[in-house]
Amino acid sequence: MASEVNLAQLRALVAVADTGGFGAAADELGISQSAVSHAVAALERSLGAPVLRRGTPCRPTPLGEQVLPHARTAVASAAAVRTIATRHSGGPTGTVRLAAPTTVCQALLPGLLRDWKAAYPQVTVRVFEGEDAELATWLEAGTVDAAVLVDADRPPPGAVALGADSMHALLRRDHPLAGQETVHVGELEDDDFLLSEGGCERHIREAYRRAGARFAPRHRIRDLNTLIGMVHAGVGVSVMPALALTMLPPDCVLVPIRPAVHRTLTLTGPSHRPWSPAVTGLLAGVGTTVPV
């Protein structure tokens, strides 16, 4: 090998893999694009083969895929060492990459971010919005340091329960069912159903299964704001979590469905590697710890 692998090279690899490009990685790391390119090139010389496929976006090569988990561990460990070394400053320090579903980003995170900024001014929290199924993968792969997981299975010690988020029918305010206290899902069969593919499909299917009602979505929509806009325009109806309330225009309402179905939300660090002191500090200040 031409030289030893160093932390700057691994940090550059992780940044390009996560952002998809050298320019975005440079912004992420606060260095020049040239410096990122040189670091990756030096890593490839040391390993004797490319670790990235150049393109839009950049993707890891097969070698890069094997190296990337170890690079993430090294970068995370270095960050933890820096954080531990500065704990004498009076509290946790560093950057926490936090992933969460869209509705959580809209409804819960703004309050948490305000509280964290006041309590832990030396911690920077960077939010990544994702779909339910992506979040656990990001967390365990080291793409993020913490995440709000939906229906988490055996969360690790220190995880925090953020509560249960019940499913509601999304209707225009002038819909005949909008004034009811609850709506049975069977009552929605007369309308075109818009299904969000962002992560709540299994909860919706469960409600229909329990009710013995026919589930036949007419439209499948990936973006939640698009779905809300279509309901607002009178295209149809939908079912979504109560936390979506903050996203609704005045002419739309949420009505609890029957049978009642909910999802649980858990704020946690990874299950299979140590948490950074910054993650531990943030979660300790939130509230209820999940029993383990």
Q: Is the pLDDT of residue 289 over 50?
A: no
pLDDT band at 1 (very low <50, low <70, confident <90, very high): very low
- The CATH number that domain 163-263 falls under is 3.40.190.290
Poorest-confidence range of 131-140, 144-153, 187-196?
131-140
Domain ranges of the chain: 1-85, 163-263
- Give the rounded distance of the alpha carbon of 139 from its chain centre: 9
Q: Which two tokens stand for residue 257?
A: 């469905």
Look up residue 13 and give its amino acid: L
pLDDT of the residue at 82: 66
Instruction: Give how far the C-alpha of residue 94 lies from the chain's centroid of Cα atoms, to the nearest Å.
Output: 19
Cα angle at 90 between 87 and 91, to 5 degrees?
65
More confident residue, 142 or 173: 173
- The CATH number given to 1-85 is 1.10.10.10
pLDDT digits (tens, 9 = 90+) for 119-138: 888 889 999 998 888 898 88
CA angle 282, 288, 292 (to 5 degrees): 100
pLDDT digits (tens, 9 = 90+) for 63-77: 999 999 999 988 888
Instruction: State the pLDDT confidence band at 291, using cuts at 50, 70 and 90.
Output: very low
For residues 175 and 237, is the Cβ–Cβ distance under 8 A? Answer: yes
Buried b (16+ CB within 10 A) or exposed e, 143-181: bbbbbbbbebeebeebbbbbeebbbbbbbbeebebbeee
Whether the CB-CB separation of 123 and 95 falls below 8 Å is answered with yes
Burial of 66 (0-12, 13-18, 19+ CB in 10 A): exposed
pLDDT of residue 287: 64
H helix runs in the chain, sequence order: 7-19, 22-29, 33-47, 62-85, 102-107, 109-119, 132-141, 201-211, 224-232, 277-284
Residue 256's beta-bridge partner residues?
168
Query: What number of other Cβ atoms are within 10 A of residue 36's Cβ?
Result: 26
Each residue's pLDDT tens digit, 222-246? 888 999 999 999 999 999 999 999 9
Is the pLDDT score of 288 beyond 60? no
Q: Which residue reads 């499913």 in tokens?
A: 167
Q: What is the mean pLDDT of the chain?
A: 88
What's the whole-model pTM score? Answer: 0.70
